[in-house]
Amino acid sequence: MVLMGIDPGYAITGYGLLDYTNGKLRILDFGVVSTKAGTPFEKRMLAIFDGLTQSIEQYRPVSIAIEELFFNRNTTTAIGTAQARGVAVLCGARAGVPVYEYAPRKIKQSITGYGNASKEQIANFLQQILRIDLKPETLDATDGLAAAMCHFYQENNPVVKSNTGKGWDDFIKNNPKRVSG
């Protein structure tokens, strides 16, 4: 099962691909699609589209996890990032791959246990979890890996999968020996 994660941006879009086979998780690929300032915006979007489409066609992920948009102050940057994010969603839709969205805090918390973790902290945790050596210039790519890893954790969480009850009444009915009184 191949999962893809994307950290969208119009200057740098990070991506990562993970494979989960026979109970083992491994990295297939990770990197960035970079566009240069001063290049016409539509050509920047096309470069992101082409780069992500190439990875999707090569690795055939079963799902794509994309970081939701978050911005603090610079609305110009947010608009460009939102457009790059739309291109990433389009790449998945065009390939018929389901796209899942996660808030930045959710991704950070799923990897580090801390929703305000830095890019460097995420990279350090991924190094430990996946037993790889990451270079500082790959921090945008590690955010893509983190999105894929977050989705893996969400889809393979035994607590979430086993929680098929309909509330306390259902729990009590199905577990009479665990309830006293």
Within 10 angstroms of residue 3's Cβ, the number of other Cβ atoms is: 26
Q: What are phi and psi of 149, to 5 degrees?
A: -65, -40
Does residue 61 come out as left (phi exceeding 0), alpha (psi in the -120 to 50 range) or beta?
A: beta
Burial of 141 from C-beta contacts in 10 A (0-12 / 13-18 / 19+): buried
Tell me which residues are annotated as active site. Answer: 7, 67, 140
